[in-house]
Structure 1
């Protein structure tokens, strides 16, 4: 059931129209700017077959193997398994990749939870989402996400400007709907399918709109054009930019030039309530995998900063230890939110187990809002040499090698070559074009900061603090108004109620 890496490579050689640097790409799998990430995605498939990794990356059910990342979450163990599989992947490849499928497939689970909303439009739509979730489990496609449109003038409704600024339906046929517009989709040029849905739009009071459409798009469909930003791979030697050359996930403007979407791939259409539901719950599951990447990146920041401090014994200084502790607090804050989100997980409307929503979304705010600050702390700890060190060619050249060997050898443990490698790694992680791109990507990849805070606002238990103050201040109960939870029904109380052995031990 799980494809091999070779089968994945063959699946994207379907004649799709991909452009990068203004030129059409002949073979995506071998193009130097796509190849590093294509190879990593192929590696994921092969890890799921590897006897040493299969028990971590895949699970067996009814005699068939499927990817852990695609498994519907029903228990806490499912979430621990997903977390372990992601850690295993990132440690195996030695870097961070975000758009590889496990963080985007969760968006479809949110729609699975909204089947009642879909049934208001057409029961076939809820059947479609169930069928596609089953297909992902069985066919193992590389699944990505399509959210953001070019947007145009957002002070005006789409109908009052070029209508193609937001993806929309232009006509219906017996076989499906025909759509036109564009979407930004990271990794789309080398993926198999995308969950395509509306961006945040001004629906007004309209109950129906041709812009309120969500579907699974086969990325080999006729009429699609992929216009990619220029990648970082190959711009400079990999010895000097080890991350840029291996982990750049190419972003793509996908043009829908009258693309036919078969009815069986349509998940909702015209119903604005369904569109608003999916926007409000889109990251209910996928935020977990996204924030987990922030945790792994924090480990990389700590490792690079600590190695640099230890090289010259600066880790013994209190001021340096305080800076390292700040990195550790950031890291452990993310770790605590992810761990607690599993431990206090909640049952979803569709019967799945979702990470505790308030804790997960709060952890995302922590991870993203402080990222630029901890990167700057890591820069400070790595020192100024990350921005002034010569490149690998200078360390190899006969005329300059002796001098660089002399001044970059710290002691018998840290010779010049190891020092150079560490400085190149830190420079690429913190100072390069790739580093700046990744920082911006982390800020907006799952929606902008105001939307992150809006998700916290929608999911935080406001009743608990209100009830506490109402009782402590002796206020009448009527000031509480309508409450969303029963008194004392906190997340911790729910957790103890569903973990009777721990409850008994505590009592």
Structure 2
């Protein structure tokens, strides 16, 4: 089945413990900091029921309709269908939202690929993987991911400081394991469940560790506490900050205070080899929708910069066109990596079709590492007025409004109101607190840059370049170009 927006909202009105700015939230669906993004997620659910969208956002299997986002990819068409579904959503909501479920279900598919390895290490939990993947599909669950711990002093192992700084198992019971600790999670306060996995490096040469645990945590479970950062929504007028007031995906420090995880929700436990294996393959699918989101960020920067250049006639200048071309190259570079990763897609160990790994990971490095420079180019093209333009109330006021409307009107086509709207949009996209937050989010949301580069290194086939140089340089046959 596919849920409606109201069914989704009702599902998260489960008495969960959520705190925002020191206040215990009574209803997450109506709290000012959370309501806008929850409404967006509900809208995505409702879109799947509308005739104009249902063909792209859903598929039918066994007389049941399911979400296109959660369909395990078996062929190239499945990936193209997912791209089309994302395109429909982004254009309908008019912005970019990263955490809606499709970018985290891929981490579950990675578990499928490692099912045999995990079963070899500990056969108790392999069936849990299959069941949970089906549950997400059949129940249309809003599923997020829990990666980063507070960590504390990283020069010390967790056992030599407060053990709760990293999530760990405190004891086993007949019903399941009991966990303590905390994770930073985006969208946790308004999601159904999270896939919790460890941070690699919590152990040294240990084969077994209470910190090596992977499981599903229900976000409304007893002992789960969501301590959210203050939201950007409703801090100021939506007319002045149109993106921050609609698309802020609120993060939380999610505290696990003796939370029971039933055995059927455990994927691996104690074996550090299992945890390391899972982390090494975690993003082989989820990196795709994550990078795809940045394509829409690039489109917003191009659109904002191009409209600002057009309104003043600067789009005719060669120097302006060159900067716009830089933005286009960035956008098309992302598109090329994504397109090539599908065209060169390969079968995974679990029988799914995964994007070609080195191409996908190289695209992630390109998209994330170049974003700061592209944002600055967009700022240059939008000009200094994005940081000095008064707010909307000043344009409305009788005393100041007549002057602002005079000096912000350019011609019959560009009157002050449209120009102010464009400048406010560009400011929120490039200069605001929300813009800075999003930039930092991109740098770390799927691990920091050095991990991105490590993924490229580990997925690239070096045999070709080594063999090419061996032959070109006339190196002896004693050298094996395929070995590292």
Q: CA offsets per residue over residues 225-283 of structure 1, 9 Å max, x none? A: 11000000000000000001000000000110000000000000001011101111111
Task: Name the SS for the 1:6 alignment partner.
Answer: helix
What corresponds to 1:487 in structure 2?
Answer: none
Q: CA offsets per residue over residues 17-52 of structure 1, 9 Å max, x none? A: 100000100110011110011011111111111111
What is the CA-CA distance between 1:482 and the residue it aligns to? 4.7
Superposition pairs for residues 70-81 of structure 1, below 5 Å?
70-81=70-81
Superposition pairs for residues 244-393 of structure 1, below 5 Å?
244-393=244-393
Partner Cα distance (2:400, 2:221) in 1: 54
Structure 2 unaligned residues grouped into runs of 5+: none
Partner Cα distance (2:201, 2:251) in 1: 22
Superposition pairs for residues 125-164 of structure 1, below 5 Å?
125-164=125-164
What corresponds to 1:433 in structure 2?
Answer: 433
Contact 1:168 1:212 in 2 (8 A): yes
Partner Cα distance (2:188, 2:159) in 1: 27
Task: Name the SS for the 1:441 alignment partner.
Answer: helix
Superposition pairs for residues 402-481 of structure 1, below 5 Å?
402-480=402-480
Partner Cα distance (1:220, 1:439) in 2: 30
Task: Name the SS for the 1:378 alignment partner.
Answer: helix
What corresponds to 2:173 in structure 1?
Answer: 173
1:57 aligns with 2:57: yes
Provide the TM-score with structure 2 as the length reference. 0.99
What corresponds to 2:397 in structure 1?
Answer: 397
What is the CA-CA distance between 1:483 and the residue it aligns to? 4.7
Contact 1:117 1:273 in 2 (8 A): no
Partner Cα distance (1:227, 1:402) in 2: 45
What is the CA-CA distance between 1:125 and the residue it aligns to? 1.2
What corresponds to 1:195 in structure 2?
Answer: 195
What is the CA-CA distance between 1:120 and the residue it aligns to? 2.1
What corresponds to 2:94 in structure 1?
Answer: 94
What is the CA-CA distance between 1:358 and the residue it aligns to? 0.3
Q: CA offsets per residue over residues 273-297 of structure 1, 9 Å max, x none? A: 1110111111100000000011110
Task: Name the SS for the 2:294 alignment partner.
Answer: helix
What is the CA-CA distance between 1:401 and the residue it aligns to? 1.5
What is the CA-CA distance between 1:404 and the residue it aligns to? 0.9
What corresponds to 2:119 in structure 1?
Answer: 119
Partner Cα distance (1:99, 1:312) in 2: 37
Once the two structures are overlaid, the 10-residue window that deviates more, 121-130 or 71-80, is: 121-130
Q: CA offsets per residue over residues 149-185 of structure 1, 9 Å max, x none? A: 0001111111111110100000000010000000101
Provide the TM-score with structure 1 as the length reference. 0.94
Change in CA separation of 1:481 and 1:337 when aligned onto 2, cut-off 3 Å? closer
What corresponds to 1:495 in structure 2?
Answer: none
Contact 2:463 2:481 in 1 (8 A): no
Contact 1:114 1:349 in 2 (8 A): yes
Runs of 4+ in 1 over 3 A off after TM superposition: 481-484
Q: CA offsets per residue over residues 309-337 of structure 1, 9 Å max, x none? A: 01111011111011000000111100000
What is the CA-CA distance between 1:461 and the residue it aligns to? 1.2
Task: Name the SS for the 1:259 alignment partner.
Answer: strand
Partner Cα distance (2:258, 2:300) in 1: 44
Task: Name the SS for the 2:259 alignment partner.
Answer: strand
Task: Name the SS for the 1:231 alignment partner.
Answer: coil
